[in-house]
Amino acid sequence: MAAEVRPALKRSDEERQIEEGAEVILPVSEDEGIETEELILNMGPQHPSTHGVLRLVLRLSGEKVVQCVPVMGYLHRGLEKIFEWRTYHQGIRYADQSDYVSNMLNEHAYAGAMEAIGGIDVPRRAEFIRVIVDEMSRCASHLVWLGTYGLDVGATTPMLYCFRDREEILDLFEELCGSRMNFNYFRPGGVLYDLPPGWLAKLSRFLDRYEKHIEDDYVRLLESNEIFLERTVGVGEIPPDVAVAYGLSGPIARGSGVEVDLRTARPYSIYPELTAMKPVIERQGDAYARYRVRVGEMRLAIRLIRECIDKLPGGAVRARLGHVWKCPKGEAYYTVEGAKGEVGIYMISNGGPNPFRAKMRGPSFVNLQILPWLLKDRLVSDAVAIMGSLDFVLGEVDR
Amino acid sequence: MAFDEKVPAKPIDFEHDVIQKRPETTQTGLGRPGALSPTPGILADEDNAVFTTLAKLVDWARSRSPWPLGYGLACCAIEMMASAASHHDLSRFGAEVFRSSPRQADVMIVAGTVTHKMAPRLRRLYEQMPEPKWVIAMGNCASSGGEFWDSYATLQGVDTVVPVDVYVAGCPPRPEALTEGVLRLREKIARGG
């Protein structure tokens, strides 16, 4: 029996022609009594609003987008193949590179998959440290999104404020593991280093400032900005059933009212113990709702980190695995609620020094597929506002 | 001297008190000709007259504001944004105006991994930039392939496609490192590179 081809995977000849820039005969449409010839607009791969190297080919009829063909692969670095060539410990460093805005969350998924195969118990202190750095990483990611989305819709100031706080988070990370972005901090069975002395005090002082900055700067700057509201409220609405049908996850799905947060829906680490953990859900489904969810998650992250600091136990931060640790045979799929959605690693081990296969589920890649549906029959001026609200990172889309 | 005694008025020395002498500076191009001066062709005399050739003056002026092409590829792009943002503030060195069009840019900062699919586009962007133009390879991936040295999809160093003036090491380089790269490029431009 022939395998059934899902409609989303089929690519029509016409789409292929548009992508390759081949001769496409464009129809002439009549819109409001004016005869308009359709136009193909190429956007990217070098475009300030595609957040990396995404290329969009838009077919326009006047101001309206008739069709959108995303072209990907400009940042395909072969990460999944490299996972197979590196040892388990070396692979953590490459997991960083996938979503390079929230690196710790990828590492968590990669280390978690190893632990699930090997049946390793993580010390409690390590789990708490993991949750702290995960939430800090999520904040860093949302701050970059908030700043660049402000730029996309015409507000320059939020970016300067957002990077101020992001720098402080990165400084704390640097003190913790020596690097600002590609951390290489997670290990199977824990984390690499314990917290340096005085780090927690610095973190909680930062959280106090940061909490004030969210209310005083970001929310006040954007939510009282008429232009920002005009460009986001009611733009790019995704109904909940469409969000589920396209397999969206993360803040996009939660902005549409789909109550899926892997921290509570498929609990991992110590999230079930934290009383502050309540998913942020918005019902409207537009770009503004997605903004609200992300700002809500920044506030949630502060509450979660504070609770972790209060409950932080003592003890080791790394399980003793012996000098040469070999992953036993087996396979596992481990998911983490990333900053963009469900970050999953499906890892198969055949007992050798390297993973036999490590498939990465990048949430940005799955979330991106709704873009043609969203842009259809929209104004071309809304394209950037819609695209920015999806918050994808091209490193994760192309891997 | 008692406290109510007046200080005798000093006659005004016009040469000494009125004419504000320009302090000697070690900035590139504006120092005395000597071992400390990085550009020996340009010299500033004490009464603010500058003798130089036009070419050197143009080079010096060009080096003051190299506008980069706003062009992020991968992880390094985030650090590039960070160095242009509030904390590290690249505008101190005149290089914060990220132009979205290659026609308005002087410097291309290749920030990130260049894949085989991206390389022809990168070359085209380089060709679209007006002369004179410079390239900074930011990060290990753009400099030499870096940690993707054995990947089937990436270019082993961007210097296989475009000529590179400054290499900045790091994965990703800190914003300070990129700033240092921009400063080195300024020196190079001022020397007529």
Q: Residue B156 sits in a domain of what CATH number?
A: 3.40.50.12280
- In angstroms, the separation between the Cα of residue A274 and the nearest Cα of chain B is 32
Contact A76 B71 (CB under 8 A): no
In this predicted model, what pLDDT tens digit does every residue of B91-144 receive, in sequence order?
Answer: 888 888 888 888 888 899 988 888 888 888 888 889 888 888 899 999 898 888
Contact A46 B125 (CB under 8 A): yes
Q: Which residues of A touch B75 (CB under 8 A)?
A: 97, 100, 181-182, 395
A47 touches chain B (CB under 8 A): yes
Q: What is the pLDDT of residue B2?
A: 63
Q: Are residues B76 and B144 in the same domain?
A: yes
Is B7 within the bounds of a domain? no
| Percent of chain A at pLDDT exceeding 90 | 16
Q: What is the pLDDT of residue A137?
A: 92
B28, B46, B63: which is the final residue of a domain?
Answer: B63
Is B46 within the bounds of a domain? yes
Q: Are residues B106 and B19 in the same domain?
A: no
Contact A181 B75 (CB under 8 A): yes
Greater confidence (A186 vs B22) lies with: A186
**In a mutagenesis test of the A interface, which of B71, B78, B127 is the best target, namely the one with the most A β-carbons within 10 Å?**
B78
Helix and strand element counts for chain B (H, E): 5, 6
Is B93 within the bounds of a domain? yes
For residue B79, the chain A residue with the least C-alpha distance is A181
Is B8 within the bounds of a domain? no
Cβ atoms of residues B98 and B68 within 8 Å: yes
Q: Which residues of A touch B171 (CB under 8 A)?
A: 182
CA A361 vs. chain centroid, Å, equals 11
Q: Are residues B46 and B136 in the same domain?
A: no
Q: Are residues B44 and B87 in the same domain?
A: no
Cβ atoms of residues A305 and A132 within 8 Å: yes
Is B98 within the bounds of a domain? yes
Whether the predicted pLDDT of B29 surpasses 50:
no
Contact A52 B81 (CB under 8 A): no
B91 touches chain A (CB under 8 A): no
Task: List domains and CATH numbers for chain A.
Answer: 82-327 (1.10.645.10)
Contact A74 B118 (CB under 8 A): yes
Is B193 within the bounds of a domain? no
Is B38 within the bounds of a domain? yes
For residue A166, the chain B residue with the least C-alpha distance is B82
Q: What is the pLDDT of residue A133?
A: 92
Q: Are residues B109 and B145 in the same domain?
A: yes
Tally of domains in chain B:
2
Instruction: Give the closest of A77, A93, A161 to B154, CB-based.
Output: A77
Between β-strands B134-138 and B107-111, what pairing exists: parallel, antiparallel or unpaired? Answer: parallel
Q: How many CB pairs under 8 A join A and B?
A: 96
B79 touches chain A (CB under 8 A): yes
Contact B86 A160 (CB under 8 A): yes
Q: Are residues B98 and B45 in the same domain?
A: no
Q: Are residues B71 and B164 in the same domain?
A: yes
B113 touches chain A (CB under 8 A): yes
Q: One digit per residue, pLDDT tens: chain A, 399 residues?
A: 444 444 555 566 667 666 666 666 666 666 666 677 778 888 878 777 777 788 888 888 878 888 888 888 888 888 888 988 888 888 888 888 888 888 889 999 999 998 888 888 889 899 999 999 999 999 999 999 998 888 888 888 888 888 989 999 999 999 988 888 888 888 888 888 888 998 999 999 999 999 998 988 888 888 888 888 888 888 888 899 888 888 888 899 998 888 888 888 888 888 888 888 888 888 888 889 999 999 999 999 999 999 999 988 888 888 887 767 788 888 899 999 988 888 999 999 888 888 898 898 889 899 888 888 888 888 888 888 888 888 888 888 888
Q: Are residues B46 and B108 in the same domain?
A: no
B156 touches chain A (CB under 8 A): no
Contact B118 A75 (CB under 8 A): yes
Domain that holds residue B178: 65-184
Which segments of B30-164 does DSSP mark as H helices, in order? 54-64, 75-84, 119-128, 139-144
CA atoms within a 13 Å half-sphere pointing along the CA-CB vector of A273: 13
Q: Which residues of B touch A47 (CB under 8 A)?
A: 100
Instruction: Give the closest of A48, A94, A97 to B70, CB-based.
Output: A48
CA distance A272 to A264: 7
Is B170 within the bounds of a domain? yes
Q: Are residues B18 and B112 in the same domain?
A: no
For residue B154, the chain A residue with the least C-alpha distance is A77
**In a mutagenesis test of the B interface, which of A19, A20, A42, A46 is the best target, namely the one with the most B β-carbons within 10 Å?**
A46
Q: Which residues of B touch A100 (CB under 8 A)?
A: 74-75, 78
For the question of whether the overall pTM of this predicted structure is more than 0.90, the answer is no
Q: Which residues of B touch A46 (CB under 8 A)?
A: 69, 71, 102, 121, 125
Q: Are residues B76 and B170 in the same domain?
A: yes
CA distance A234 to A218: 20
For residue B87, the chain A residue with the least C-alpha distance is A164
Cβ atoms of residues B99 and B68 within 8 Å: yes
Q: Are residues B59 and B69 in the same domain?
A: no
Contact B78 A144 (CB under 8 A): yes
Instruction: Give the closest of A53, A161, A182 to B75, CB-based.
Output: A182
Q: Are residues B56 and B82 in the same domain?
A: no
- In angstroms, the separation between the Cα of residue B143 and the nearest Cα of chain A is 16
In this predicted model, what pLDDT tens digit does every residue of B79-94 receive, in sequence order?
Answer: 888 888 888 888 888 8
For residue B153, the chain A residue with the least C-alpha distance is A77
For residue A50, the chain B residue with the least C-alpha distance is B72
B23, B42, B63: which is the final residue of a domain?
Answer: B63
Q: What is the pLDDT of residue B16?
A: 65
Indicate the helix (H) or strand (E) that contains B168.
strand B166-168
In this predicted model, what pLDDT tens digit does every residue of A28-82 receive, in sequence order?
Answer: 666 666 677 778 888 878 777 777 788 888 888 878 888 888 888 888 888 888 9
Task: Give CA separation, A20 vs A24, A57, A71, A74, B13, in Å.
Answer: 10, 10, 10, 14, 78
